[in-house]
Amino acid sequence: MSPNPDPWSSERSTAVAAAEEAGALLRSRFPDGFAARPKGQLGDVVTDLDVAAERLVVGRIRERFPHDRILAEESGELVGDGGGRTWLVDPLDGSNNVVIGLAVYVVGIALCVDDTPVVGVVHDPMTGRTWSALRGGGAHGPGGRFAVAANGRPLPAAGPLLAWTQGHSVSRDDPLACSLRHTLELRSRRLLQLWAPLVAWAMLARGDIDGFVGYRAEAIDLPAGALLAREAGIALRHLDGAEFGGGFGGPDTGRSFVAGRPELLPHLLDLVSPFSPGTEDTHTAETAPTGPTARRSSAAGTSPWVPTSGHRPGRPSA
């Protein structure tokens, strides 16, 4: 018997169907058919749409793969049989956007084996578009498989069009984050801060933007977006230039990254490499604009990721 050319195709089909079903639910109740409440002390929110969509997605995965572990944004961990398979569910990436009536939000689902992303799905409820990827199997969108161009458009004279995200454990006046973000703003054509990292990953995979920079990024949405981008031909690196896997494990200090088209990667690394780990003492709060002090516990930066009720990829500082 010949080997299966798409060993994760069943998992992708399940994830796509679940994401699209959840998307239909979200779209049917946006912009007015939901309630929101504060989440944590730093202006974050959770809506009943988050909870309903997550319940739907988790249920569909559990029905089809009852022995798999699931990490979900709102409900946390559902243990599996220890086989190394972990689903990550972000039922509504962009809750803060939804609350203010901004139609920039998606559903994200990933499957990792150990810490390696093997399936990634991003669904946009407002347009009905879905993007998905299998490890080693390419990235696909509404028009079929993405073509990986050998050479893209040249770097604009005004600089690259970039997106930015930072994790919840990063304080608003973090010197390194402020300095890095300020440098990117000065040396790019635009620096998008979308409050929905998976939207940025999908834009990068499609070629709408030139690069994406993350500083101590959140874990829940990272594998789906990183896999989609990688399979679309995007290069992913740590800030020091080392290969970036895009998994969810380990402390958030290992989840700072730069991603972009291969021909632009040297330029992007030139922008971010001065801010790689070990350079913290060379960047002070006076070197970049600072905001009001708003610190979370440093524990999130020193221990493996565990979902908590205070986390949400769409908080305003992201």
- What pLDDT tens digit does each residue of the chain (318 aa) get? 445 567 899 999 999 999 999 999 999 999 988 888 877 666 677 899 999 999 999 999 999 999 999 999 999 999 999 899 999 999 999 999 999 999 999 999 999 999 999 999 999 999 999 999 999 999 999 999 998 755 667 788 899 999 999 998 899 899 999 999 999 999 999 999 999 999 999 999 999 999 999 999 999 999 999 999 999 999 999 999 999 999 999 999 999 999 999 999 999 999 999 998 755 444 443 333 333 333 333 333 333 333 333 333 333 334
Give the CATH number of the domain where residue 273 resides: 3.40.190.80
pTM of the model: 0.85
- Give the SS3 label for residue 158: coil
The number of folded domains in the chain is 2
Residues 137 and 165 placed together within one structural domain of the fold = no
Q: How far apart are CA 298 and CA 170, in angstroms?
A: 9
Give residue 220's domain range: 161-301
- What's the CA gap between 103 and 119, in Å, rounded? 26
What number of residues does the chain have? 318
In a domain, 297, yes or no: yes
Together in a domain, 167 and 297: yes
Residue 288, domain member (yes or no) = yes
Q: Are residues 172 and 271 in the same domain?
A: yes
> First-to-last CA distance in the chain?
49
Q: What are phi and psi of 305, to 5 degrees?
A: -70, 135
In a domain, 70, yes or no: yes
Q: Which structure tokens are listed for 123?
A: 């669904």
Q: What is the CATH number of the domain that holds 33?
A: 3.30.540.10
The phi-psi region of residue 135 (left if phi > 0; otherwise alpha if psi is between -120 and 50; otherwise beta) is beta
Domain end marker among 117, 145, 173: 145
CA 41 to chain centre: 22
